[in-house]
Amino acid sequence: MLVLSRKKGESIWLGDEIEITISEIKGDQVRIAINAPKNITILRGELIKEVSESNTEAVKIDGFIDFLKNEKK
């Protein structure tokens, strides 16, 4: 993992197409601006975790429903 220090207004680049700029710093909160092509999906980390957990639960439920369907046959 690469760890960088940046000040307000400074940026980093990911490849040639994605620029991340520090737009504001207030206390322990940092606002970032991301400039990327429209085909790049940008999600907050907590959303990825939430979706992953929901998908895991859905698979468990789907498997249980299939089990019940097979039991009735």
- The tokens for 9 are 């207004």
Are the beta carbons of 32 and 11 closer than 8 angstroms? no
- pTM here is 0.64
User: Where do the H-state alpha helices sit in the chain?
Assistant: 45-72
The predicted-structure confidence for 7-44, as pLDDT tens digits, reads as follows 999 999 999 999 999 999 999 999 999 999 999 989 88
